[in-house]
Amino acid sequence: MAQRLDKLREKLASQGLEALLIGSAYNRQYISGFTGSAGWVLVAADRAWFLTDFRYTEQAAEQVHGFDIVEHGPDPIASIGDLLRGAGLSKLGFEENHTTYAQFAKWSKTLQGVELVPVPGLVEELRMIKDEAELAVMQEAADLADRAFSYIQGLIKPGMKESDIALELEVFLRSGGAASSCFDTIVASGERSALPHGVASDRVIGSNEFVKLDFGALYRGYCSDITRTVAVGQVSDKHREIYDIVLEAQLHALEHIRPGMTGKQADALARDVIAKHGYGDRFGHSLGHGLGMEVHEQPSLSVRSDIVLVPGMVVTVEPGIYIPGFGGVRIEDDIVLTDDGIRILTSSTKQLITL
């Protein structure tokens, strides 16, 4: 945590800020280590405070190091104002992406004499680069997802509901140590596999169709995210065609993604392959997204992303083809950018499995 604080202070200094107020849960946990549901972090150049209410002071004392632990009063912002005045601080940055207008209006009244400066994504920028401890946890989360995919293959069969498969996946993840799933588990079969985010329904899985599975584990505070598409029974040549194209696109992207390219360039690696085969209009989402404490965070691998990829970033690589009324395919892995390429965290087979 000390290194994270140091890096954050460097960013504050570069923007001419005396202090930063952090209230969003993920950023608060990243900077302080606190896993509870209520608290505020106040970081200045030479001092840092963690404020919470009486419910969490004992937990904070155990988890939060390098901060002054403060039990705030009925209005935490008033307590923050007292700390600012006591330290002679009058220019406060706040998280513009996590602050409502109503909050800002109230803070402006409570913190009279303090200049409030909206700041976009300072902590999120730090979170994009994972350290070795974070990567070790994310590898375990990916391993758990791989084991879940191996397990679920033995249960998928005609007559089962999509929701039954989703439940089995989630129970397996929890039994393996996950706190929960990272998102609503996607199990989309038959024509529903054409829905990119087809959350599991009561549809009964039939014969001779695709089942698309997209799930992940929230494990020790970090996410995994994997998608595999399997065949139940004998699928058609059309099914196999689009599966092979998506696999080609994904393998091509994995082979060529490197530090130094932009998210837009990475996206094009797979998009160009799918377009070459005539299905460019059936791949409507980005190639991937950042992964970490949240299942969707920066950087993005999309046609709009100019973020330069650097070692330590963890992203998904998940091209797809979706044909309404017929079905769809997505294949997704989690990768970490390394000094000279990538390391793939998820290892489940990507050859078309027929159940």
- The secondary structure of 222-252 as a DSSP string is EE--EEEEEEES---HHHHHHHHHHHHHHHH
Q: What does each C-alpha distance from 272 to 243, 245, 247, 269, 330 come to in angstroms?
A: 16, 11, 13, 6, 16
pLDDT at 14 > cutoff 90:
yes
What's the whole-number mean pLDDT along residues 12-21? 95
Residue-wise pLDDT tens digits, 241-299: 999 999 999 999 999 999 999 999 999 999 999 999 999 999 999 999 999 999 999 99
Q: Give CATH for domain 2-127.
A: 3.40.350.10
pLDDT at 1 > cutoff 90:
no
| Intervals of CATH 3.90.230.10 along the chain | 132-344
Residue-wise pLDDT tens digits, 180-218: 999 999 999 999 999 999 999 999 999 999 999 999 999
Residue-wise pLDDT tens digits, 161-187: 999 999 999 999 999 999 999 999 999
Q: What is the DSSP letter of 353?
A: P
What's the whole-number mean pLDDT along residues 18-41? 97
- The whole-model pTM stands at 0.95
Count the residues in the chain: 355
| CATH for 132-344 (3.30.460.80, 3.40.50.150, 3.40.50.2000, 3.90.230.10) | 3.90.230.10
pLDDT at 2 > cutoff 90:
no
Query: 184: Cβ–Cβ under 8 A, 6 or more apart, which residues?
Result: 199, 200
Do the Cβ atoms of 312 and 106 come closer than 8 Å?
no
The residue among 313, 310, 311 whose CA lies nearest residue 288 is 313
Q: What does each C-alpha distance from 177 to 35, 173, 181, 221 come to in angstroms?
A: 17, 7, 11, 11
Strand partners, 308: 262
